[in-house]
Chains A and B, each alone.
Chain A
């Protein structure tokens, strides 16, 4: 957090939206309603929210494809339609509408040409990126029309990474990928973060976002309803369900349990033998709690997380989901 604050003092935000408003149908539909947020350089920023919340509209505004009705939007200090921005911006769309008659490699060269990357540089770079996303070499010369969803996702990320973008916009990047692919993408994004690339991810896969994002914004009704710093272990947003065998009925008192839970900084949110629900921050706290319960002679027979931290956050800010 200190780094973020200090970097904020020295350099402008990578993406800065102030009172961003976007109306459709002559103002009858307001997709973005004075949305304000600031994304730091080198940050992995997640955007979550229900369907129709304005996430895609926001991403389209970032790409310069939609023009804001009011407010301002700056990427590295420029408006989204500036050519300086387009030259340093990579994006992976949700709908993978590539030019289907091109082969995978032709498509990469097409984008490299649009980015004005010289052929001599583009050739090794394209091969490096296609290897990086682990797209089967046999597929490089196949028409994109024959690609599976997972292959499209891989070539989509490869073309988004062309030209060493400083800002990467990804919409549902792990959709259609197998678990190996999901892990690969996660590792690629973590490496990009280390090299200072600002990454914005729009996704419904909260577990994935939780693993890679620094911060997550919950958008609803075209507004940022809440911001969650995933890397700051300050909130008890995860939940752990503990169970005991019946022989622990007498030993497992509410008082003892509460004091043990409190001792590790967790919070007892419900208890009715043989089950207790505890609010925790992360896996480390869970391990510590289980260890402490062992020491207090009330070892659990079962401990299972009910939902991830982001899921809890999502439920908290959008109770309508649970209704």
Chain B
């Protein structure tokens, strides 16, 4: 891990005002959910799980173009001409954005807990599980984003993910409306790969670590990380005009 690249990646996000604004809007999401739950269901005890739902959105906003943007902006040659191994650059970028997303999601979770306590006088449920989900989702989704960004220029990775999300929704609708079998299952699998995670509540013993969900999460994350490193290692750059 390279501390300089990590700090640069985090500062890079803070220099992009539009992204900060969108991330801030997404961070309000759990509170809006709580207000709706209170209005519609008059619930006395709220769930903290909503805070984990902002993670994929934050990853999409903060992590878009994590490598592709550096390539398009032409700053990658100057970074890689310095004594830094390419795998360290990739890994540092992934870890930096994942950590930033976790940090922002934890802030959201804390505010969420305080807010829920203020309006219901009860602490929300599933705080620990939500915290674990935030960590799993951040590292998982970011690894998928990293792979796509290593392949595509600029922020095209975001476009591909949004396209796949739209395709998945269409598949859900197709099964619901036209009763085409298998569509929902396929869409769920696409979502499971795009936003890899598993329910930390299911890990009750050492044996449960060998479940399909955990296996899928670990394999998606590993394949994406290794794939990104291989792609960046093989990437040919030229600092001149093409």
Contact = CB atoms under 8 A, between A and B. Distances in A.
Interface of A: 56-57, 59-60, 63-67, 83, 86-87, 89, 91, 93-95, 97-102, 110-111, 113-116, 171
A5 B89 CA distance: 42
Interface string B1-31: 0111000100110010000000000000000
Interface stretch (B79-87, B145-153, B209-217): B79-87
A59 B11 CA distance: 30
Contacts of B11: 101-102
B239 A113 contact: no
A113 B11 CA distance: 15
B4 A67 contact: no
A83 B12 CA distance: 25
9 closest residue pairs by CB, A with B: A97-B74, A56-B240, A101-B15, A114-B82, A113-B4, A86-B83, A93-B239, A87-B83, A65-B237
A172 to B, nearest CB: 10
Contact of A97 (B3, B12, B75, B83): B75
B236 A67 contact: yes
Nearest to B77: A65
Nearest to B5: A114
A60 B237 CA distance: 8
Given A63-B77, A95-B74, A101-B12, A115 B240 contact: no
Contacts of A95: 74, 239-241
B4 A114 contact: yes
Contacts, number: 87
Contacts of B77: 60, 63, 65, 93, 97
Most B CB atoms within 10 A — which of A56, A99, A116? A99
A65 B77 CA distance: 7
Contact of B238 (A65, A89, A102, A111): A65
A116 B8 contact: no
Interface of B: 2-4, 8, 11-12, 15, 73-75, 77-85, 236-241
Given A56-B241, A63-B81, A115-B82, 9 more contacts: A56-B238, A56-B239, A60-B240, A65-B239, A86-B82, A89-B81, A97-B78, A111-B82, A113-B4
7 contacts: A59-B239, A63-B77, A87-B82, A93-B77, A97-B78, A113-B4, A114-B82
Contacts of B236: 65-67
B236 to A, nearest CB: 5
A171 B79 CA distance: 17
Given A98-B78, A101-B12, A114 B237 contact: no
Contacts of A171: 239-240
A83 B85 contact: yes
- Most chain A CB within 10 A, of B73, B78, B80, is at B78
A93 B241 CA distance: 10
A63 B237 CA distance: 10
A59 B4 contact: no
Nearest to B82: A114
A55 B138 CA distance: 43
A73 to B, nearest CB: 14
Nearest to A101: B15
Contacts of A86: 81-84
B75 A98 contact: yes
A152 to B, nearest CB: 12
Contacts of A89: 81
A89 B77 CA distance: 13
Contacts of A114: 2, 4, 79, 82-84
Nearest to A65: B237
Contact of B81 (A65, A67, A94, A102): A65
A93 B8 contact: no
A60 B239 CA distance: 7
Nearest to A202: B240
B27 to A, nearest CB: 22
A173 to B, nearest CB: 14
Contact of A110 (B8, B80, B240): B8
A83 B75 contact: no
A99 B73 CA distance: 8
A66 B240 CA distance: 12
Contacts of B2: 114
A63 B83 CA distance: 11
B23 to A, nearest CB: 17
Contacts of B85: 83
Given A65-B81, A116-B83, A59 B75 contact: no
Contacts of A116: 83
A93 B78 contact: yes
B101 to A, nearest CB: 20
Given A98-B75, A99-B8, A99-B75, A93 B83 contact: no
Given A59-B240, A93-B240, A113-B4, A64 B78 contact: no
A105 to B, nearest CB: 14
Contacts of A115: 82-83
B79 A63 contact: no
A59 to B, nearest CB: 7
